[in-house]
Structure 1
Amino acid sequence: MRKLSYLIATSIDGFIGSADGDGEFFTKYVDDAYLEWMFAEFPETLPTHVRRHFGIDDRPNRRYDATIMGRGTYAVGLPQGVTSPYGHLKQYVVSRSLQEVPPEVELVAGDLVAEVRELKRQDGLDIWLCGGADVAAQLVDEIDELVIKTYPCFLGSGMPLAAAGFEIREFALDSVTSFKSGIVVTTYTRKR
């Protein structure tokens, strides 16, 4: 069975962006060592146009062949004309307000949990939950793996990692990878 993996960038205090969802400031901490690691470990999590820019667009998907993102996450690239940000993956956008998306993107406006459970039963690589906080909250009990990229900054407020209600959900630590830039990538598996 496929896993749902929430791979996300966050501040030390658990925010994935400003209150309006902007997370562009995280890029200032990215160095060559971190990029090379991401290219090797998670090449499919880089948008298609970024993969082309770095010359890694021919690298095969290692872990994921599908991504789920909220409308806010999807909308980030729209002003630049990026309507299929992860064209190398099967893309699902969760939204009740969007009326149409390009053919290579599937709109999920109904029961998100049921959709994810069906995707998990299908053959393939794992499913990447790309963001954001509201979608993560809806899927919190379906998340099988957390890959938390913690950046060395403290924001104080903003968009949380997940806007889920309080409940203890236990995970086991799998790995920790740190970089001189201060970025720490921690991977956890859901205890079931």
Structure 2
Amino acid sequence: MRKLTYFIATTIDGFIAGPGDEFGFMMSILDDAYVSALVESYPDTVSARGREAVGLGPDNRDFDTVLMGRNTYEPGLSAGMTSPYPHLRQYVVSKSLTTSPDPAVTVFSGDVVELVRGLKQEEGKGIWLCGGASLAGQLRDEIDEIVVKVNPFVAGKGIPLFAAEFAPERYDLKGTRSFGNGVVMITYAKRTA
């Protein structure tokens, strides 16, 4: 069975963006060593423009599908990237976006849990949950792995990692990796027993 991985950047205090969807401040600390490590560790999460810049081909290693909410999709769309991950099967989960601006992107407004359960039953590589908080909250029970890139910022307020009801759930630590720019990447797996 395929697994769903929530691979996301956050602040120290658990926000994936500011209250107005600001995330550029987290991009401000990107350096060559960190970007190289991300490309090496999770090449399938590099967007089309980034793939060209670092010389990645069309083949996927870990993921073949990406899910994102409308707010996650919007910055790329505003910059003219209607298909940010053409090497992946792309789903944008949205009630407000009714038609896809690109034939390679499926806009989905139905039951996302049912969608993910169906995707997990298919043959293929993993499924990447790109963001955001509402979508992660809806899919919380379906998430098998969380990879959190904790950025060295405290935001104070913003969009949380998960928008969901209070229900503590235990995950097991699979690994950590720290970088010279202050980012710590932490990988957790859902505890099954």
TM-score (norm 2): 0.96
Structure 1 residue 95: deviation in Å?
A: 0.6
Structure 1 residue 59: deviation in Å?
A: 6.1
- Stretches of structure 2 that go unaligned for 5 or more consecutive residues are none
Query: Could you tell me whether the CA contact under 8 Å between 1:68 and 1:91 is conserved in 2?
Result: yes
Q: What CA distance in whole angstroms lies between the structure 1 residues aligned with 2:59 and 2:20?
A: 33
Q: Which residue of 2 aligns with 1:73?
A: 72
Aligned-residue sequence identity (percent) comes to: 46
The one-letter code sitting in structure 2 at the alignment partner of 1:13 is D
Structure 1 residue 31: deviation in Å?
A: 1.6
The one-letter code sitting in structure 2 at the alignment partner of 1:89 is L
Tell me the alpha carbon deviations over residues 129-151 of structure 1, each in whole angstroms, 9 at most, x when there is no partner: 00001100100111000000000
Q: What CA distance in whole angstroms lies between the structure 2 residues aligned with 1:32 and 1:53?
A: 12
Q: Secondary structure at the match of 1:129?
A: strand
Q: What CA distance in whole angstroms lies between the structure 1 residues aligned with 2:42 and 2:87?
A: 13
Q: What CA distance in whole angstroms lies between the structure 1 residues aligned with 2:117 and 2:20?
A: 29
Residue 175, structure 1, aligned to residue 175, structure 2: yes
Q: Which residue of 2 aligns with 1:103?
A: 103
Q: Which residue of 2 aligns with 1:61?
A: 60
| RMSD over aligned Cα atoms | 1.0
Query: Could you tell me whether the CA contact under 8 Å between 1:41 and 1:62 is conserved in 2?
Result: no
The one-letter code sitting in structure 2 at the alignment partner of 1:54 is V
The runs of at least 4 aligned residues of structure 1 exceeding 2 Å deviation read 53-56
Q: What CA distance in whole angstroms lies between the structure 1 residues aligned with 2:68 and 2:148?
A: 16
Distance of aligned partners of 1:90 and 1:187 in 2 relative to their CA distance in 1, 3 Å threshold = same
Aligned pairs, how many?
191
TM-score (norm 1): 0.96
Q: What CA distance in whole angstroms lies between the structure 2 residues aligned with 1:31 and 1:59?
A: 24
